[in-house]
Amino acid sequence: MRKLSLIGAGLSLALATAAIAGPPSGALHTTTVDGSVVNENHYAAKPDVYITGGPNNKAPGQGPRLDAGWYYFQVTDPSGKVLLSQDPIQRRRFFVNAQGLITQALTHVTGVDLDDGDLTVQLWPFADTPNNGNVYKAWITPVQHYSAGQGQHGFLGKYSKTDNFKVLDPDCGCE
């Protein structure tokens, strides 16, 4: 009986550790500057692409928000192999408060979500994707899990959230 208790305790500890060690809660969504379209997938130009950390108040209490803390973001090609973000990682940082709302971005342009006051964070500047369909991938990862030289440009899959999007006119003259 004691052996069974120890196995059960070990399993509980392993499951709890896996939950803590896994990706942040919530989701990453590309959106418009005012957050009016959550999980927007098509944009006219690269400067039109913003991110938000979860569902808005249209569904209060529905769905998890991001965990509190500082995050880095990046833009890559869809495979994650080609880093397209053009500024240093330290400039691509934002903060999520205890309510799961983005409240600060260090250097990138922000907008305000019309529904809940959450900040939206502009991903631009980023280079053109080598993907023939003009598809890109946005990534976020908690700052404490960023690991330079590992994963996809320091972003480890088990700690990151991603969202793909398409830019209809990547040559918009915005660079």
Question: How far is residue 30 from each of residues 6, 8, 52, 156, measured CA to CA in Å?
Answer: 45, 41, 6, 20
pLDDT tens for 57-81 read 544 445 678 899 999 999 999 999 9
Task: Kindly tell me the sign of the dihedral angle through the C-alpha atoms of 113, 61, 63, 53.
Answer: positive
Tokens of 142: 């908690």
pLDDT of residue 14: 39
pLDDT of residue 114: 87
Average pLDDT of span 85-110 = 94
- Residue 48's pLDDT band, with cuts at 50, 70 and 90, is very high
Other C-beta atoms within 10 Å of 50: how many? 27
- Residue 27's pLDDT band, with cuts at 50, 70 and 90, is confident
C-alpha span between 144 and 132 (Å, rounded): 34
- Residue 38's pLDDT band, with cuts at 50, 70 and 90, is confident
C-alpha span between 51 and 6 (Å, rounded): 44
pLDDT tens for 128-174 read 999 999 999 999 999 999 999 999 999 999 999 999 999 987 676 56
pLDDT of residue 24: 77
